[in-house]
Chains A and B, each alone.
Chain A
């Protein structure tokens, strides 16, 4: 019975996702039509250019990589009933610490990269600890603290880059033989694109999240607290401990995303006036993916295709890239408002089918 219920839930989640994606793309198409662009040509250019050439496929996978990790970060917090809007800041400190390790410690090359990745993840965990701890100990809403932590991360990063890492310039020198996560074999398979080992970190992250959530006691507790904190407390679980751990695990995924980006794609840091947006994209990925590990892969892939293909769409079909932002926003709104179950629910009521209690 329980498994049936679970399956029904999953089914309705997938339906919501698909209907929301289609409606979101319709919104985008309407915007294109209103401005006199051809939506069919635009979407065609988008998907063809994102997927059909080895080079483009490699670039699309590169775009998907951080989205999987930030998506996981938001998703695991959601599973514990927490909204980690601070993924952006955790991403920044992960990037910062990974870069510092890779440039300042002088470890042997391979060990250095591994340590840099791990330290990046830990930095993200530390940044997630602050809102987690304040939520657990003082009941402060994690959303607000996370937003504040984003700005603190941004300015901290800018400060260290300006005064130390870049020595007065706007961006740092590149990491030696950079970017260290890029391997020639992989790049050559995908037509010389910038795909890097980060995708394996991301996939490992998906596996870790799956294993953690469904195969360990901690994962069970995290989910239980998300479902019903009071019942969990009554059952002897420490809600506070789980809140803190959830935010730290979430932060570590975000930190890994940052480490993977700086060690795999850019190889340097620069002073930023604004956020990258990768952390915020993670929110969209988690929501669309229904906060499940597999769902996150699918959603990250879709948004990766939209983001990378959107650039080509601008080039080939002359449609401004920003329409993709509108499509993503519309998809989030539709998923959040649970539009399909509202429609399906109304439909069911009319047919007199009883709801599952």
Chain B
């Protein structure tokens, strides 16, 4: 019985750890996409965040400084996406693909330059370790995963609720939604479509970079080519599976984290004898396709998603 509890506790802890970067990045994607700008570049924004988190921590000796620098790097890399898609009206998906290329290129180029041709950064001198919340962390089973969690986990959960509040309870959030659903009506009502979209893409860069940083200065402790390996795309899936809603995204990312946790702990708990780990790893993607196809609920994308805004057209 004790063993059984321990297994569940472990699975929950792994779930929360894997969900954390996904929640942050998917919330980033949410801001961008609710404003009408597709962000396939989440992966690249996570890469640059992970890179800068590690390099910043090494340079300053402080993981918190590393996090701040990584947020700045995410904002800087989000800018070319914003300029290309909003100002130059480039295809948003293509631009996002370019951002992914750009991030991997720049980060590995700089790693080799900074660390004499090495394929990874040195181990960071400080990581953002688990912080226990008094009393709550004593709760059996869920205590260790939720209340003795990484600072990034607390940030991710709080960010989901702040996003919810911003989006549905403030004028700024209403403008983001208006711009993403009906930009011309929003413009007529005096909202700057270009301004709101720029801001939304910048916020998405900051959040996705934080998600990336969690991989290099908390969950892991260095940056290399494989530090971010598809999490940006899973975050994108979580965004869709969560129907572009903050709390839906939180739930979807947690569910995907759970699938990863099962795939990873399958060996330990004897699950892999029945279901191969690769099948468990596929699960998030298969479910997302089923969700999109309308077999598992219906995914409703923002109306103006993917369409460049042209003044004076309808």
Residues of A within 8 A of B (CB): 31, 35, 83, 85, 130, 134, 138, 140-141, 143-145, 147-152, 155-156, 158-159, 162-163, 273-274, 280, 283-284, 287, 320, 322-330, 332-333, 336-339, 342
Contacts and interface: CB of A to CB of B under 8 A. Distances in A.
Nearest to A130: B289
A209 B193 CA distance: 41
A131 B210 CA distance: 32
Given A85-B97, A130-B289, A151-B230, 5 more contacts: A147-B40, A148-B285, A151-B285, A322-B107, A332-B98
B233 interface: yes
A158 B278 contact: yes
Contact of B276 (A150, A159, A328): A159
Nearest to A331: B98
A44 B248 CA distance: 52
A144 B240 contact: yes
B105 interface: yes
A152 B286 contact: yes
Interface in B75-105: 80, 83-84, 88-91, 93-95, 97-102, 104-105
Contact of B101 (A150, A151, A280, A338): A280
Contacts of A322: 104-109, 112
Q: Which 4 A-B pairs have the closest CB atoms?
A: A325-B105, A329-B101, A337-B88, A159-B278
Given A134-B292, A148-B289, A83 B104 contact: no
Interface of B is mostly: helix
Name the residue among B97, B112, B279 with the largest chain A CB count within 10 angstroms: B97
Given A138-B294, A151-B230, A287-B94, A144 B279 contact: no
Contacts of A140: 289, 292-293
Contacts of B113: 35, 320
Contacts of A283: 94, 97
A83 B106 CA distance: 25
Contact of A328 (B101, B109, B281): B101
Contact of B289 (A145, A159, A333, A336): A145
B84 A151 contact: no
B226 interface: yes
A134 B292 CA distance: 9
Given A143-B40, A320-B112, A337-B84, A329 B281 contact: no
Given A35-B113, A148-B286, A284 B101 contact: yes
Given A144-B240, A287-B94, A323 B293 contact: no
Contacts of A342: 88
A156 B97 contact: no
B266 to A, nearest CB: 13
A65 B243 CA distance: 40
A162 B98 CA distance: 33
B84 A333 contact: yes
B42 to A, nearest CB: 11
B37 to A, nearest CB: 14
Interface string B114-149: 000100000000000000000000000000000000
Contacts of A35: 109-110, 113
B237 interface: yes
B282 A156 contact: yes
Taking residues whose C-beta sits less than 8 angstroms from the other chain, chain B's interface range is: 35 or more
Contacts of B98: 329-330, 332-333, 336
Contact of A155 (B89, B107, B229, B278): B278
Contacts of B101: 280, 284, 325-326, 328-329, 332
Nearest to B109: A322
Interface of B: 38, 40, 80, 83-84, 88-91, 93-95, 97-102, 104-110, 112-113, 117, 226, 229-230, 233, 236-237, 240, 276, 278-279, 281-282, 285-286, 288-289, 292-294, 301
A323 B281 CA distance: 32
A150 B90 CA distance: 24
Contacts of B237: 144, 147-148
A338 B108 contact: no
A145 B294 CA distance: 13
A274 B229 contact: yes
Name the residue among A134, A152, A158, A333 with the largest chain B CB count within 10 angstroms: A333
Given A140-B292, A145-B292, A159-B279, A333 B95 contact: yes
B95 A337 contact: yes
A333 B102 contact: yes
20 contacts: A35-B113, A85-B93, A85-B97, A138-B294, A140-B293, A143-B40, A147-B40, A148-B289, A152-B285, A155-B278, A274-B229, A280-B100, A283-B97, A320-B113, A322-B109, A326-B102, A328-B101, A332-B101, A336-B90, A338-B88
Nearest to A333: B98
Contacts of A141: 292, 301
A329 B102 contact: yes
Contacts of B276: 159, 163
A337 B108 contact: no
A273 B100 CA distance: 18
A155 B281 contact: yes
A238 B75 CA distance: 44
A320 B102 contact: no
B309 to A, nearest CB: 15
B84 A336 contact: yes
A168 to B, nearest CB: 13
A323 B102 CA distance: 9
Contacts of B236: 144, 147
Given A35-B113, A151-B233, A333 B80 contact: yes
Contacts of B107: 322
Name the residue among A150, A156, A280, A337 with the largest chain B CB count within 10 angstroms: A337
Name the residue among B99, B100, B109 with the largest chain A CB count within 10 angstroms: B109
Contacts of B104: 322, 325
A324 B102 CA distance: 10
Given A326-B102, A332-B94, A337-B88, A147 B233 contact: yes
A209 B112 CA distance: 41
